[in-house]
Structures are given as structure tokens and as C-alpha cells.
Chains A and B, each alone.
Chain A
Amino acid sequence: MDKFDNIIKDAVEGYEAPYDAQAWANVSAQLGNKGGAMKWIVGSAAAVALITGSVYLMNQDETELNVPVITENTTVENNTIISDNHNVTDNITNDGENTDNNTTVTDDSQSEVPTDFSDNSNPATVPGNAGNTNGNSVNHNVTNQNNDQTVTNPVNTNTGSYPEDIITTRINSKFVCANSEACMSEEFIFTPEDISQSALYVWDFGDGSFSSSKVGTHTYTRSGSFTVTLSLKDSKSNKTLGKSSVEVTVNALPDVQFAYEKSKEMIPTITFINLTEDATDWNWNIKGLKTSTDNQFEYTFRKKGIYMVELSATNEYGCSNSTQKPIEIKNDYNLLAPTAFTPNGDNKNDNFIPEALRLMEVDFTMVVYDKSGKMMYQTNNVNQPWDGTNMNDNSIAEDGAYVWTVQFKNANGEIEYYEGHVIITR
């Protein structure tokens, strides 16, 4: 490790990227979706089992005829779903599409053994409908076909007596949110289980805000618990086709505050005091310079400039907030090192050592280099300052600029590192 390595390491090490609620939403969705995907896989496996089951049954009665049935079923699947969502009452177009796709099958099955077909497929379709998940679209499809063909199965009698009920339960208005609990500044993302429907999606976030986008996103501006409702409405009649609600909790953010004071030493130290009351954890950050999780912390700024000091705090709900204050440092305190000295033997400014080292009582190492990087002098003792000679051969260093570096361990055990220029003029 050389000095360059250390500089980069120092610069990079304490750095923390700001919190990103979206990143959590993504991770959380992936963690949660794993369960969802499993369900889907199980669901579709069940659907496959149902199809193969019915095919097997059909195969008992008929032979070659049924092979195209499978392919028809899968292709029809999409069409039926779309027509389903357009409007379940819109049976005319539904019929049209279905018969289009099924020309061969419906013709054959109707002409040959229509009753057998429905009898065999019914036991398979009924439990599928009861399950009522997305994966079962194939089964919906089958019942649809049955609707058109026979009036003997239980689903059909239902359609006859309670058409409204069927419509509302057919439309899936359920939605998921990655978290049912979040902090005030964080965005909730509500994702409908089925966003493919052509109905109007109306979100009521329970705090007086509404949205009409398919995926509801909302950031609450006050804490509390709210009921989020998604209504799916028919775009023509404005009739509510389905409605679901979820309760969410919005947690307050901590009220982050801090104060600071400056010591009266030659190199003033700034002490920062945490005034945040409702927090359990906090983190101080002076960008690129220091971070701390202590309640109170101090820092000695060596260079003039305006520094942004940030305090972020987290409360018992895990909600974070932060505040920033600029601190202005008016002077450079580079160990109060003189920028020039005159080693000419007149007992005035004959030696060089950063003044602050005389006061600090630390074990330091000072090294002086010439412009080409050659070491000229090294000392660990304030009483042995540099007198302007080249330590290697005791020759007199030429007039000109030299680089000095000082390194020591401070009271907190951290290594502090300084460097600067000093000019010899005799």
C-alpha cells in the first residue's frame, strides 16, 4: 500500500450512498414475488394436470380427435381472457371469437358426442373455478365454451340466476403492496394482480388522494393508518365491477435537529450535539471526512471552506430523516506551519517545524522532500526541527520550495496526515 492507495481508500471508505426507497421496493418485491411465483407455478402445474386429466378422459372415448383440442385450448386462452375483460356481458363478440378459433373442434365435438365432451370436462373445470386464480384461465375458457354449447353444468345455472355476482367475482380487483407499513417519505406501490383488464382502475388512498393509473403509487404526507381501495369500473356504464381494500400504516419520521459549538483553542474543534428526541439511532456525516454513530461528536476542521454536516436519525419504526447544516471554517489550520524560513544563522526563523506540533504532544513523524521527491530530512522530535540541511550528506539545501509531510495518531487513535510546502530563502 502506498500513499496514493491510502488517499483513495480514505476518500472512499467512509462514504455511504443515500438511502433509496425504490431500491428497497425492488428487493422487497423480488423477495415477496418469489412466493407469488411459486404459487403461480403450482397453479399452472395444477392447470396442466387438469388439462391432461381431461385429455386423458377424452382419450378414453375418442382417439385422434382430441389432440387438436389441447392446442385449441391454449390458443383460445388469451382471446377468452381479453373478451372476458372487455365485458362479460358482451357475449356476442365472445361467441364470435370462440367459434372462430374452435371451428374444427366445436364442429367435431358438437356433431359427434357433445354430451360426452361436457360431461367429461365438467368435473375438471368446477374446482378450477372455485380456486379462482390467474393460473386458471384455461378453465375459464373451458367453461366459456360450455356456456355456448350446453346448459347442463352447474356453472351455467349460476350464470343464469346471478349474472351480476359472476361478473364481480370474475373481475380480479385484488392488489398487492410490497409493504403494508412504510415511513412517511416512502412511496407505496400497489400492484393489481391483473393489470390486463380494460376496466377503469380507480385508486382511493384513504387520505383524500385518488389515482386512475393501473399501478397505484402514493406517498403519504401524514402518519396514521389508511385504507387503500382499488375499484375496477366499467368504462362505459361506470358500474363497479370489482373492489378490494388493503390497510396500510404510515409511520412518522423523526424530527432531526442538532446544534454545534466551537472550542476556543488555536485549532478550534467543533462539537456537534444531537437534539433529536424521537430517534433510536443516528449517524453523523461530514462528507468524505468523518462519520459517527455517537450521540455527540466532534471534528477539527483543518482547512478553510464550507462543510456540509449531516445528521440522519432512525426512529423505533425504522423511519429515517436527516438534516444538514453548513459549517464555515474561515482559516486553514495546516498545523500552523510557516510557509517559509531563513536558515542563515541569524537566529531568526532558522528552523522549520509546524507550530501546532509544539503544542500537541503527539508522537509524530515529519519528513521533508525536495521537488524531485528525494527525502531531505526526517524527525520525530519537536526540538529537532529542520535546519535546512540535507540529512543524507549534510549538504546545505538550496533555496526553493520543499514538501513536508506530518503523520501522527490523534487522541481518538486515528491517523492524521498533513502536508504542505515550505520555501527556503536565505
Chain B
Amino acid sequence: METSEDLRTIVDGCIKGKSKYQQQLFKLFYGKMMAVCMRYAKDRDEAQDMVQNGFIKIFNKLDVYNFEGSLEGWIRRIMVNTAIDQIRKNKRDPFSIEDDSRIQNMEEEVPFADDDEHEIKIKAETAIKAISALSPAYRTVFNLYVIEGMSHKEIAEYLGISEGTSKSNLAKAKMKLKEELSLKFEH
């Protein structure tokens, strides 16, 4: 990884609009950010759109990055925002509950006891594919809660939904994922 001084050079170069540095920054973070977007998108094309729009935003906003906190964290936040904006754009009311079955806060901390779950290493591609297959509402809450580590309260504020919806969507997302992933293990 680049030293912080190298990063500063790259960021300064990007702010000046120098293509060489923009490409360096892009190369440094593309892989990680594409991985982030792939979890928010329904397919590769949508992820590609998100990551490209995200980078354009990043290049345009880079002059407000003040080197407090990690650059990667800053870039990732913009990327997640871009991804969610794009989901919002593509669908009306995308984060609300889809069906009316009310599953409240499912029981957490269930140890792995089932036979088909002893295989605990899941391939990144398999996991991403399963997450992508979720509906936008489930996918977004799952990503924000599990991967970005946001609380239900934060998610509710961020997406403009109720905490109950956030909890219920997470529970249903996890149920679907477990179904999907354990199906995979059987083969």
C-alpha cells in the first residue's frame, strides 16, 4: 500500500486534475470499491455504473478531503452513498418492507448446529452473488448493518424508514441468505 506521503501526492495530483494521478487513485481503490458496489447492486452492470459514478464524485469532491481519517474510509463512504442514491433513483420507495409478513427481531446468537452449516468458509463470490440476489430493500439494510456496522437507528435515519422496518428487513434478508447459501452447500 502507498505511504501516506504517496497518497498525498496522488490526491494533490488528482485535485489538479492530472490524469496520471487520477488513474493511480482509481487503480488503488477500484478493486475494493467494485467489491463494495457489487454487494449493493443487483448485477455486475449496475455495480459497474455505481463504481464509475462514485469515482467521478470522488474526483470532483477530493478537494474537500482533509486527510483526517483514512482516505479509503472516505472513498468508501462516498461509494456507499452513491450506491444507495442509485438504488433510490432506480426504484420508487425502494427501502420499505416488501411484503406484510411481520417478522420482528429474530432470535440472534443462534449457534451453528445444523449439519449443513459446518462448512463455514464461504467464497466471496458466492456470498456477493447471494447478497445481490436479495431485493434492494433487504440488500441495503443487510449491507449497512452487517458490513458497514451501522445500527438500526442509524440505518432508519439514513434511509428514511422506521427502525422496525430496518430490523424486519435485516431478519428477512438473513433468512433468505441462509436459505440461498445452505442450498449451495448441498451441491
Binds A, one of B77-85, B91-99, B104-112, B152-160: B104-112
Confirm or deny: A31 has a beta carbon within 8 angstroms of a beta carbon on chain B.
yes
Closest chain A CB from B145 CB (angstroms): 8
**Inter-subunit contact B146/A9 (CB<8 Å):** yes
**Inter-subunit contact A15/B111 (CB<8 Å):** no
**Inter-subunit contact B122/A7 (CB<8 Å):** yes
**Inter-subunit contact B113/A179 (CB<8 Å):** no
Confirm or deny: B35 has a beta carbon within 8 angstroms of a beta carbon on chain A.
yes
Interface pairs (26), CB distance under 8 Å: A2-B110, A3-B110, A3-B111, A4-B112, A8-B146, A8-B177, A9-B147, A11-B122, A12-B131, A13-B147, A15-B124, A16-B34, A19-B27, A19-B30, A20-B30, A20-B48, A23-B48, A27-B52, A31-B17, A31-B56, A281-B1, A288-B124, A373-B113, A405-B111, A419-B112, A420-B118
Interface size class of A (residues with CB under 8 A): 35 or more
CB contacts under 8 Å to B, within A1-43, are 1-5, 7-20, 23-24, 26-28, 30-32
Query: Residue A24 contacts which of B2, B27, B127 (CB distance < 8 angstroms)?
Result: B27
Known: A24-B27, A31-B22. 5 other contacts (CB 8 A): A11-B121, A15-B35, A17-B31, A26-B52, A403-B112
Query: Residue B24 contacts which of A23, A318, A419 (CB distance < 8 angstroms)?
Result: A318
Q: A342-382: contact bitstring with B at CB < 8 Å (1 yes, 0 no)?
A: 00000000000000000000000001011111010000000
**Inter-subunit contact A27/B147 (CB<8 Å):** no
Q: Which 7 residue pairs are nearest across A and B when measured between Cβ atoms?
A: A16-B31, A17-B34, A15-B124, A373-B113, A11-B127, A11-B122, A288-B124
Confirm or deny: B20 has a beta carbon within 8 angstroms of a beta carbon on chain A.
yes
Q: Using Cβ atoms and an 8 Å threshold, which residues of chain A touch B4?
A: none
CB-CB nearest in chain A for B170: A5
Q: Using Cβ atoms and an 8 Å threshold, which residues of chain B touch A370?
A: 113
> Which B residues are within 8 Å of any A CB, using their own CB?
1-2, 17, 19-20, 22-24, 26-27, 30-32, 34-35, 38-39, 48, 51-52, 55-56, 59, 108-113, 118, 120-128, 131, 146-147, 174, 177-178
**Inter-subunit contact A23/B52 (CB<8 Å):** yes
Query: Residue B124 contacts which of A3, A11, A23, A27 (CB distance < 8 angstroms)?
Result: A11
Q: How far is the CA of A257 from the CA of B122 in the complex (A)?
A: 28
Confirm or deny: A95 has a beta carbon within 8 angstroms of a beta carbon on chain B.
no
Confirm or deny: A91 has a beta carbon within 8 angstroms of a beta carbon on chain B.
no
Chain A interface main SS type: mixed
**Inter-subunit contact A28/B147 (CB<8 Å):** no
Closest chain B CB from A144 CB (angstroms): 38
**Inter-subunit contact B122/A8 (CB<8 Å):** yes
- Total A-B pairs, Cβ < 8 A: 134
Q: Using Cβ atoms and an 8 Å threshold, which residues of chain A touch B23?
A: 24, 28, 179, 318
Q: How far is the CA of A16 from the CA of B55 in the complex (A)?
A: 16
Query: Residue B27 contacts which of A11, A31, A318 (CB distance < 8 angstroms)?
Result: A318
Chain B interface main SS type: helix
Closest chain B CB from A339 CB (angstroms): 12
**Inter-subunit contact B30/A28 (CB<8 Å):** no
Among A1, A2, A417, chain B packs the most CB atoms within 10 A around the CB of A2
Q: Using Cβ atoms and an 8 Å threshold, which residues of chain A touch B48?
A: 20, 23
Q: Using Cβ atoms and an 8 Å threshold, which residues of chain B touch A375?
A: 111
**Inter-subunit contact B118/A11 (CB<8 Å):** no
Confirm or deny: A136 has a beta carbon within 8 angstroms of a beta carbon on chain B.
no
> Which A residues are within 8 Å of any B CB, using their own CB?
1-5, 7-20, 23-24, 26-28, 30-32, 178-179, 181, 281, 287-289, 293, 303, 314, 318, 320, 367, 369-373, 375, 403, 405, 417, 419-421
Query: Residue A293 contacts which of B1, B22, B26, B30 (CB distance < 8 angstroms)?
Result: B1
Query: Residue B113 contacts which of A23, A28, A288, A369 (CB distance < 8 angstroms)?
Result: A369
CB-CB nearest in chain A for B54: A27
**Inter-subunit contact B128/A15 (CB<8 Å):** yes
Q: How far is the CA of A14 from the CA of B27 in the complex (A)?
A: 16
Q: Using Cβ atoms and an 8 Å threshold, which residues of chain B touch A26?
A: 52
**Inter-subunit contact B112/A405 (CB<8 Å):** yes
Q: How far is the CA of A289 from the CA of B112 in the complex (A)?
A: 21
Q: How far is the CA of A293 from the CA of B2 in the complex (A)?
A: 10
Q: Using Cβ atoms and an 8 Å threshold, which residues of chain A touch B118?
A: 403, 419-421
CB-CB nearest in chain B for A294: B1
Closest chain B CB from A304 CB (angstroms): 13
Q: How far is the CA of A24 from the CA of B28 in the complex (A)?
A: 12
Q: How far is the CA of A288 from the CA of B128 in the complex (A)?
A: 11
**Inter-subunit contact A403/B147 (CB<8 Å):** no
Closest chain A CB from B5 CB (angstroms): 13
Q: How far is the CA of A78 from the CA of B124 in the complex (A)?
A: 53
**Inter-subunit contact A12/B178 (CB<8 Å):** no
**Inter-subunit contact A23/B111 (CB<8 Å):** no
Q: How far is the CA of A7 from the CA of B120 in the complex (A)?
A: 7
Closest chain A CB from B51 CB (angstroms): 7
**Inter-subunit contact A11/B126 (CB<8 Å):** yes
CB-CB nearest in chain B for A31: B59
Q: Using Cβ atoms and an 8 Å threshold, which residues of chain B touch A31?
A: 17, 19, 22, 56, 59
**Inter-subunit contact B30/A4 (CB<8 Å):** no
Q: Using Cβ atoms and an 8 Å threshold, which residues of chain A touch B32?
A: 16
Q: A11-B126, A12-B127, A405-B111 are in contact. Are A27 and B121 (CB under 8 A)?
A: no
Q: Using Cβ atoms and an 8 Å threshold, which residues of chain A touch B17?
A: 31
Q: How far is the CA of A281 from the CA of B30 in the complex (A)?
A: 15
Q: How far is the CA of A13 from the CA of B149 in the complex (A)?
A: 12
**Inter-subunit contact A30/B56 (CB<8 Å):** yes
Q: Using Cβ atoms and an 8 Å threshold, which residues of chain A touch B1?
A: 281, 293
